[in-house]
Structure 1
């Protein structure tokens, strides 16, 4: 489906034209039909020659109803601009064009109505000149008469050409449906309407209501497009969505239905301004999508400003809108969202610094958007510019934060990573310089910890994570890239032997000398205390592979199990505990736990009468 906003004219000539094209009445209210004046948004649709469906959003033209006009035109990518042959270019025509220009609308068609009442050529020439200076550029034009039907076939042919020039929407994109109407239907509940510009809606989908600062989830109960019940509707389309889980009073014009967790609602945005005067008022109204939100304007530098909104909106980098001065009834500036999550401006001179950081993309944003070529169905200007902008702003975020989640960047409209960034896994990306700094600091932090805690098994991983300021999910990647071993909640150097402090090394050597003479005469507690070998020192010696802990109070050399097996193999099988103790030259304090250790390792096996024998083909490397 294709959706076109009809704009420009103030009276019933425009609505009459839509009625002739579609056979439908776009003016929904009796007051509109009585006064011959469109007050609120009207909707109608038809099928073009060849079967292409086309929906019209008929917007009011009178200056009193410009906010309603913007709610309808804001989400739409194309406009059918209408002027009357007997009236020509008027003040409301200029304001409508200023709005379309500020919104960056690049696809359009000029229609001169009432050609039966006056020569259409003067009005056509005047309007084409005005349109050519806007983002619409050189558009096709056609003169028609809504009363007689003259020129309608030519208009239908031009509408077919217009739809062929429109860019193809991404049907897999995250959904953001700006609501332009909300009402209740008996037996169905709440229904909202809007223009779905991208993505796909399906019955049963769960969506979030954005724009009120709440996280309210709703379910799609039913869908209609062009008056037909459907299970699924891809963008672009005019849709009516029957919702479950929300009252009509809790969703209305200016809210949005969005894919849950895929959008970030923001109250502060940095924007580029197009066609702004020398000095903007401090408070204006931001119109974006179907929303109209008062905004405080803080200039940052040439062509850039920070907007603080009265309520949060789901905005992304690349979104277009406009600032309107309702007191003067005029468009103050076009707006291109640069950053939907900008840094705070807390220090003196922070605004100037921020302006300098945005400067490389502000000139492009301030320059008039390249009008679409009516003869070329491609849309070359938009995507490249959007990609460059997204990559640049993503780079700003990465330089500011160092590490950013990919889904957070996507929610801000920043799927494109700059060249100086890295995808570091676990859903995170990093600024290349920051990542290199982390990899350099990690071994330094570990070395400092080892100096402070020479007997520790390793540095607790959570301590390293906190000192580096990285999320837990990324610590394995940091440790691996920095050639550190992360295991059992501890961080150690990869491929290096554990070393002991000099005093501990001396004491362990004394124990090794004692055990070299009598391998199974484990030192008594008094001897260990004399040498200064407490629990921590013994644990360090065991981790270093210098001693074997049989029990908390019995330590031997690491080769003791092998030596015990050889000794026990010389005994008659089976043997008793007493025979083993005598053969090993030790006491029950050592013999009992040592034999239990050999049992566990499968070196020996205990028989029902409590005697033991060497297990067949047993090896001290088996078992634990």
Structure 2
């Protein structure tokens, strides 16, 4: 299916032309038929040979209904602009064209209606001149009369050619359905309609609205109930679920978990002059108040009155409801960093200077200190192949340049720490990650030799060097334990050697002693030696048998055996006896 929005000045024959093309009156309301003008969005459809089904969204032309008009054209990829041969170029035609240009709509056809009432040549020439500087420049302009049928076949041919040139929709994409109508059907309940621009909706699907999950009970398209509808399509969804009564025009239904809803967005603006401080943002079929903060060079930050699901490259309109001036909006970053310090706005302007609104992972990595790949995917940035352009750890990623800078900064911080704390070399990874502003998994990914994580600390030493006095004390301790490795020195002997708590902690981190419990100091490798000696006993063995075999005291053997249990070198049985775990099972 293809979806086309009509546009143009009031009373220029949009609805009459749609009726001539489709055989259906798009004006649904009695008030519309009585007054002869479109007030709400209208819908009609037909089939074109070689194209298939074409649905028309008929929008109001009266100036009082501009917000409704914008709700109709916002999600639609193509337009049928209508001007009358017997009228001059009118204000609403100019405003509608300006809105289409602001949205970047590049696929359209112009119908010059009432060609039976006046020579259409001047209107055709004026339409071509008005279109030339806009996104619709070069569009076909076709004189037509809905009354006599003149030009209808030429118009259908022009529509067919235009529709065949549309880019293929993303039928596998995430659903974002902007609701443009809501009503109730007796026996069915709430029904909403909208233009499905991407993705697929089927009966039984769950869609998210305002943080709640709603169930799609049924799907209709072009007046027929279908099992599923794929983009691009006009759809009507019968919804049920907690919170369904809150869904109305301007609401948006989403694939659950696939979108970021944000209240702050950085954009690039097009158009003359500067928007006011409090404009309206029109996107899809919704309008929301915004606070406009210029960043300079056509860039701005918008703070929205309520969060919206926006993606990089989205097109929207800023509108001054007082002057009715319009500005085109291209979304550059729907999840920007805060601007809290002096100079942040200027730095942000520089970061966005080359942003075009085309989603690009490498560019996002350059702009973000740390990139959250899950967030970028929700912002519409393709993250497949991130390993080729980034240093990555799970969901976190850095550009190669930032990764090198982070590695250099980590090396500097470790050197400074080691110089200040020679007995405690190395920095805990969590503390170093916090200093660098990195998630800990990403810190480990950016470390470069000689830095490594050794014994739970980031250090440049594979075996941390110890001060000379501590080396002498450890040499004396080694001599003490040479003949009886499990006869741990007393507290008095440790004090005599100058081995206080900080010194012993440094020695343990360096792997020079084993401390199975406070106050118990044994040689490095004592655990493995103990397991080998205990394996010589009849299995299982008692604590007393272990004490005798190791030649030590209960003060030492009890915490040592518990240490061996924790290491998996021994296994404690329910009767408090133990067995040595075979090496192959450890």
User: If the TM-score is normalised by the length of the shorter chain, which range does it land in?
Assistant: 0.7 to 0.9
Name the residue aligned to 2:286: 291
Name the residue aligned to 1:310: 305
Q: Cα–Cα, structure 1 residues 231 and 579, in superposed 2: closer, same or farther, change >3 Å?
A: closer
Structure-2 separation of matches of 1:570 and 1:75 = 80
Structure-1 separation of matches of 2:57 and 2:372 = 38
Name the residue aligned to 2:574: none
**Structure-to-structure mapping, 1:98-109, within 5 angstroms:** 98-109=98-109
SS of alignment partner, residue 257 of structure 2: coil
1:434 aligned onto 2:428: no
- Whether the 8 Å CA contact 2:391–2:445 is kept in 1: the answer is no
Residue of 301, 308, 325 corresponding to 1:331: 325
Name the residue aligned to 1:394: 364
Name the residue aligned to 1:56: 56
Name the residue aligned to 2:445: 477
1:243 aligned onto 2:239: yes
Structure-1 separation of matches of 2:559 and 2:374 = 56
Residue of 522, 528, 538 corresponding to 2:494: 528
**Structure-to-structure mapping, 1:138-157, within 5 angstroms:** 138-157=138-157
- Whether the 8 Å CA contact 2:98–2:326 is kept in 1: the answer is no
Structure-2 separation of matches of 1:284 and 1:594 = 72
**Structure-to-structure mapping, 1:161-180, within 5 angstroms:** 161-180=161-180
Name the residue aligned to 2:575: none
Count of residues in correspondence between the two structures: 578
Structure-2 separation of matches of 1:347 and 1:504 = 48
Structure-1 separation of matches of 2:408 and 2:530 = 47
Structure-2 separation of matches of 1:604 and 1:124 = 93
1:230 aligned onto 2:226: yes
- Whether the 8 Å CA contact 1:390–1:413 is kept in 2: the answer is no
Q: TM-score, normalised by structure 1?
A: 0.79
1:7 aligned onto 2:3: no
Name the residue aligned to 2:94: 94
Q: Cα–Cα, structure 1 residues 240 and 175, in superposed 2: closer, same or farther, change >3 Å?
A: same
Higher relative contact order (CA 8 A, sep 6+): 1
Name the residue aligned to 2:264: 268
1:195 is displaced (CA, Å) by: 1.0
Moved more, 425-434 or 592-601: 592-601
**1:492-548 deviations in Å (ceiling 9; x for gaps):** 547712443433322221122234466676544432332233566456545545455
Give unmatched runs, 5+ long, in structure 1: 362-384, 606-611
Q: Cα–Cα, structure 1 residues 178 and 482, in superposed 2: closer, same or farther, change >3 Å?
A: farther
1:235 is displaced (CA, Å) by: 1.2
Moved more, 2-11 or 25-34: 2-11
Q: Cα–Cα, structure 1 residues 182 and 602, in superposed 2: closer, same or farther, change >3 Å?
A: closer
1:168 is displaced (CA, Å) by: 0.9
Name the residue aligned to 1:504: 470
1:555 is displaced (CA, Å) by: 5.1
Q: Cα–Cα, structure 1 residues 159 and 529, in superposed 2: closer, same or farther, change >3 Å?
A: same
**1:138-162 deviations in Å (ceiling 9; x for gaps):** 1223333222333333322222212
**1:2-26 deviations in Å (ceiling 9; x for gaps):** 1101111422722122112222220
Structure-1 separation of matches of 2:479 and 2:414 = 33
- Whether the 8 Å CA contact 1:190–1:242 is kept in 2: the answer is yes
Q: Cα–Cα, structure 1 residues 331 and 582, in superposed 2: closer, same or farther, change >3 Å?
A: closer
- Whether the 8 Å CA contact 1:201–1:234 is kept in 2: the answer is yes
1:98 is displaced (CA, Å) by: 1.6
Structure-2 separation of matches of 1:313 and 1:319 = 12
1:34 is displaced (CA, Å) by: 1.1
1:422 aligned onto 2:373: no
Q: Cα–Cα, structure 1 residues 35 and 451, in superposed 2: closer, same or farther, change >3 Å?
A: same
Q: Cα–Cα, structure 1 residues 623 and 445, in superposed 2: closer, same or farther, change >3 Å?
A: farther
- Whether the 8 Å CA contact 2:330–2:357 is kept in 1: the answer is no
- Whether the 8 Å CA contact 2:366–2:399 is kept in 1: the answer is no
Name the residue aligned to 1:182: 182
Q: Cα–Cα, structure 1 residues 46 and 580, in superposed 2: closer, same or farther, change >3 Å?
A: closer
SS of alignment partner, residue 283 of structure 1: coil
**Structure-to-structure mapping, 1:454-493, within 5 angstroms:** 459-479=427-447, 483-485=451-453, 490-493=456-459
Structure-2 separation of matches of 1:518 and 1:434 = 53
Name the residue aligned to 2:77: 77
Structure whose alpha-carbon radius of gyration is higher: 1
Structure-2 separation of matches of 1:271 and 1:541 = 57
Name the residue aligned to 2:200: 200
SS of alignment partner, residue 180 of structure 2: strand
Structure-1 separation of matches of 2:353 and 2:557 = 79
- Superposition RMSD on alpha carbons, in Å? 4.4
**1:369-390 deviations in Å (ceiling 9; x for gaps):** xxxxxxxxxxxxxxxx653x65
Q: Cα–Cα, structure 1 residues 507 and 244, in superposed 2: closer, same or farther, change >3 Å?
A: same
SS of alignment partner, residue 137 of structure 1: coil
Name the residue aligned to 2:377: 410
Structure-2 separation of matches of 1:576 and 1:472 = 44
- Whether the 8 Å CA contact 1:199–1:234 is kept in 2: the answer is yes
Give unmatched runs, 5+ long, in structure 2: 572-577
1:357 is displaced (CA, Å) by: 4.0
- Whether the 8 Å CA contact 2:410–2:432 is kept in 1: the answer is yes
Moved more, 84-93 or 352-361: 352-361
SS of alignment partner, residue 263 of structure 2: strand
